[in-house]
Structure 1
Amino acid sequence: IIHEAADTIFHVMVLLAAKGVEFEDVMKELKNNELNLLKRRIEKLEEKLEDYESWLKYKMQDAREDFAIGRDMLERRLELRGIEMGIDSILKLGQGYLQKEKKKLNRLARKIDAHISVEEITRELKKNHPRSFSEALKEYRKEISRARNFVKKRNFASLPQNEELKVQETPHFLRHVTPFAAYFRPAKFDKNQIGIYMVTPPENEEMMKEHNYCSISNTSIHEAYPGHHLQLTLANQHPSLIRLLSEGTEFVEGWAHYCEEAVKDLGYNDTPEHRFLQTLDLVWRAARIIVDIRLSCGEMSFEEAVNFLVEQTGMEREGAEAEVKRYTYTPGGPLSYLLGKHLIEKIREETEEKLGSDFELKWFHDMMLKNGAIPIKYLRGILEEEVNQKLIQTGKKSHTNNI
């Protein structure tokens, strides 16, 4: 595959190879004999990485410009993942959300300040951030703790035992691939489920705006509670090995994206400012669907995709270029966020309609989470069985009836 890779993929690989190995923070904790051994091995590794970088640059001369896998292959990939909607339907969904959420963004902007533009409000909200990175780390820890307490207090979902989430500064050797923050899930078979949330120190004062208070809150919901950490910790408890080793991207990313809005609907940081940045992220996820499909089908060039993200979401060009580079080698991945959120909300609406006054939000969320991080197609079938059992228990349905 690497001999036939697209040009954009080679560029990403060269970037990773060129960064080399950075272990400054690890070295500080080593004894002299351990340090000398590590240095010798790093020198050997850096030589190999330089050779690898040179080889990649040589291969780039023959790299093809066309990275699109084509409509048929994209359809097949989605089908294999258990996604039942066709490409055209998903594209239409993304276009509809983009229009709807941009209108919502304008309404929220007028609530915040009717005299300035959406772009100006975005800039103002991003200016409201902790004064230093150490304060930002404290804010992440505080917000994650608040979100966890909210999940428990408001009966959003059950919290598993033996779980913990540690917030720490991103080590040097991971910073070139983690520009802002990243969540590392607990090991699947560990007794104590400890997740790690890494936050990268900004290279300059300007980058502190990405750690603004509204974003810290929204990110903590998405990555920690009740998002990825809660979901994946519960998924790790499932006794089925097949489910432990299987994962539906549209459910994993869709769940975290769903939580961003769901907790606000229950009153968590439900202010126009927090809603504004959460909706701005939703606009970005809608644009992702459009770019992912058109880019993968060969209906949009790399430059057109970058321009689309900049124009539709207000993203900085450098950030948009990094996004699109990732899309070129993860076809069908970027569309999973909003598609998954949409499917979860649809299942919730159907479940509420069937159960009526017997519907309980915590029960619904627990049913979603306790069955593993499996594709939504299979989760829907399991949930239908659970709903049937609940209807039988409440006397609203006999054993012989079907939904």
Structure 2
Amino acid sequence: MVTITAPRGVTIRRAHGDNMRDTIERITEDLKELKKFYPIEISSKRIQRLRQFLICELNTLRGQPFHLYEQQEKVDYLLIKNYLERELRELELGSTRDQKTMPLLPFANSIVSLCEARATVSAMNPKDTAQQLFKMQMQIDETVSKINNNYTQFDLNKSSAFRAANIVGSLKGHLQEWFDFYKGYDPLFNWWVSAPYQAVKKLLDIIEKAIREKLVGIEPGNEDAIVGQPIGREGLLAELQAEMIPYTPEELISIGEKELDWCMAEMKKASKSLGYEDWHDALEHVKNDYIEPGQQTQLVYDLMQEAISFVEKHDLVRVPPLAKETLQMFMMSPERQKVNPFFLGGECIIVSYPVESMDHEAKLMSMRGNNIHFSRATVFHEMIPGHHLQLFMNARHRPYRQLFDTPFSIEGWALYWEFLLWNDDRFKKTPQNRIGMLFWRLHRCARIIFSINFHLGRMSPQECIDLLVDQVGHERATAEGEVRRSLNGDYSPLYQAGYMLGALQIYALRKEMVESGRIAEKEFHDRFLKGNCMPIELARALMRDQELSPDFKTSWRFYSL
């Protein structure tokens, strides 16, 4: 504790600056421990325990002396409060969605109870357990029969059915771990349980396949099908509240459309400077300017060095020597390129380019999609001054805030540099380079439009693909990869929108701080990086030393519609 003296000699005690950091680090580890011990997401025991933990932590937080904290600690308070509230909302929304799948999963709770009894090493009777598994067989077999003979009796949309299929896949893994724990150790377990377990395991494969094919509509053998799980308007509003974005989903779509119109006007200008009236023709010209096989890695290396030299020469951001020294490069597998048709970056850069095992059409699409001019914009986005520099700094400055990772900050930062270098005449750009940069900017506008519309239930995956092909100029294969990546559940619902919206936020903040003359550009970038991860409105509060309260609500309208 630190003692301070108030007016009239009254002595009060304020929380030490490290207390909020300690709280965040403890909550991080406690939640990790709870989720590890209760790993089955549909478990009522898990939901109840997490709910209890989150509510308890929020109540404890409300009793903290917020008004006595320094600015950084006030921001930490708001970050962890927002995080806990978001976890609680997602827990309840997830539970509601899982309940809709239960008509397809009458056996699920029995599997959960077996696995949770194993986790607590509760007494287990092999004969009774075999009877439980036999009952599961009957339930699964009956459900499969209903699906095959009259699946319309299940009042489920494709999204809920897809979720049910994923739950079955997860339960198979948990049941396998349960079986392996006892197998061979307990002779009676083997004698009673092995046969009914194998029967249940086989039936789980059958019901998962039946749900995917009959209820979701995925054709047999089509591993690349794109389904996704729309979260609806209510879910989007909850996500926007957590990201501190004071706009409706419909307003975000309007922002995406307005930015797309600007990009298209610039694309037409750049196309005319190349002698093309139709921007599609100019884009085709740019796509066909690719590096021959075996030379892409050298191109990427040279582009990395160009970007580093530029930001250092013009004193735009501090680049620690070790961040430059430890740049690494790897190649992306053909399988991974189905989901990530372009480069990936961060700690290293993973280069997407065709290999000899691909068919002729796939090779050409990959080469065209990773041409010289697309690559020039991608490399500085992924490495320095983009993701690599950002992650390097995040690991060294207030690393406990990485819990508050958000695409609006992470992806927004990298795209923000595309904005800056587009506007900076010192960064040399041919018309082909400009078209390459505009392609990516169009792409990020389209991501807002298709991802929000998908989650609102207004666009199908196929319509999302068509948008990327028709209005951005994607190869169809790369468009499919982008939509698959966006909707397959590995990313948060607002992740794809976060690129452009986050960049617009940081750019608006730069106008307030740098263009107004409050601070120098290099200091602005350094302070942003050292603040680590958080919703950008809170980064703004730090930059402006804004007065804060424990019930802080988002209000920053960073974009005029």
TM-score range, shorter chain: 0.7 to 0.9
In 2, Cα distance between the equivalents of 1:353 and 1:57? 58
Q: How does 1:128-207 map to 2 (within 5 A)?
A: 128-132=289-293, 134-163=294-323, 164-170=326-332, 174=336, 177-183=339-345, 185=346, 195-202=347-354, 203=358, 204=360, 205-206=363-364, 207=366
Distance 1:90 1:283, change over 3 A: same
Structure 1 position 117 matched with structure 2 position 278: yes
Q: How does 1:203-222 map to 2 (within 5 A)?
A: 203=358, 204=360, 205-206=363-364, 207-222=366-381
Equivalent residue number for residue 59 of structure 1: 211
Q: For the aligned residues, what is the CA RMSD?
A: 3.2
Equivalent residue number for residue 6 of structure 1: 159
Equivalent residue number for residue 100 of structure 1: 262
Residue identity (%): 25
CA shift at 1:150, angstroms? 1.6
CA shift at 1:172, angstroms? 6.9
Pick the aligned partner of 2:408 from 250, 262, 269: 250
In 2, Cα distance between the equivalents of 1:51 and 1:174? 30
Whether contact under 8 Å (2:340, 2:481) holds in the other structure is: no
Which TM-score applies when normalising by structure 2?
0.55
Equivalent residue number for residue 390 of structure 2: 231
Equivalent residue number for residue 147 of structure 2: none
Equivalent residue number for residue 44 of structure 1: none
Whether contact under 8 Å (2:317, 2:525) holds in the other structure is: yes
Pick the aligned partner of 2:235 from 73, 95, 107: 73
Equivalent residue number for residue 474 of structure 2: 315
Report SS of the residue matched to 1:162: helix
Whether contact under 8 Å (2:286, 2:373) holds in the other structure is: yes
Distance 1:208 1:173, change over 3 A: closer
Whether contact under 8 Å (2:337, 2:352) holds in the other structure is: yes
Whether contact under 8 Å (1:109, 1:121) holds in the other structure is: yes
In 1, Cα distance between the equivalents of 2:523 and 2:209? 54
Distance 1:169 1:324, change over 3 A: closer
In 2, Cα distance between the equivalents of 1:54 and 1:199? 38
- Of residues 358-367 and 300-309 in structure 1, the stretch that sits farther from structure 2 once superposed is 300-309
Pick the aligned partner of 1:368 from 528, 532, 549: 528
Distance 1:165 1:54, change over 3 A: farther
Whether contact under 8 Å (1:8, 1:325) holds in the other structure is: no
Q: Deviations over 1:69-94 (max 9, x none)?
A: 21111111111122232223212211
CA shift at 1:9, angstroms? 5.8
Whether contact under 8 Å (1:91, 1:289) holds in the other structure is: yes
Pick the aligned partner of 1:296 from 455, 466, 469: 455
Whether contact under 8 Å (1:84, 1:377) holds in the other structure is: no
Q: Deviations over 1:200-252 (max 9, x none)?
A: 341344121223111221111110111111111111111352x1322121111
Report SS of the residue matched to 1:198: strand
Whether contact under 8 Å (1:287, 1:313) holds in the other structure is: yes
Structure 1 position 127 matched with structure 2 position 283: no
Whether contact under 8 Å (1:248, 1:376) holds in the other structure is: no
Distance 1:263 1:382, change over 3 A: same
In 1, Cα distance between the equivalents of 2:202 and 2:313? 53
CA shift at 1:199, angstroms? 1.3
Unmatched 5+ stretches in structure 2: 1-96, 102-157, 171-200, 218-226, 547-561
In 2, Cα distance between the equivalents of 1:8 and 1:110? 49
- Structure 1 counterpart of 2:159, which letter? A
Whether contact under 8 Å (2:339, 2:481) holds in the other structure is: no
In 1, Cα distance between the equivalents of 2:343 and 2:161? 24
Report SS of the residue matched to 1:288: helix
Q: Across the two proteins, how many residue pairs are aligned to each other?
A: 338
In 2, Cα distance between the equivalents of 1:54 and 1:272? 55
Distance 1:55 1:198, change over 3 A: farther
Report SS of the residue matched to 1:181: coil
Pick the aligned partner of 1:84 from 246, 249, 268: 246
Unmatched 5+ stretches in structure 1: 18-48, 186-194, 387-403
Which TM-score applies when normalising by structure 1?
0.75
In 1, Cα distance between the equivalents of 2:269 and 2:338? 37
Distance 1:180 1:345, change over 3 A: closer
- Of residues 97-106 and 152-161 in structure 1, the stretch that sits farther from structure 2 once superposed is 152-161
Whether contact under 8 Å (2:451, 2:496) holds in the other structure is: yes
CA shift at 1:268, angstroms? 2.2
In 1, Cα distance between the equivalents of 2:308 and 2:497? 28
Report SS of the residue matched to 1:168: strand
Distance 1:8 1:118, change over 3 A: farther
Whether contact under 8 Å (2:286, 2:435) holds in the other structure is: no
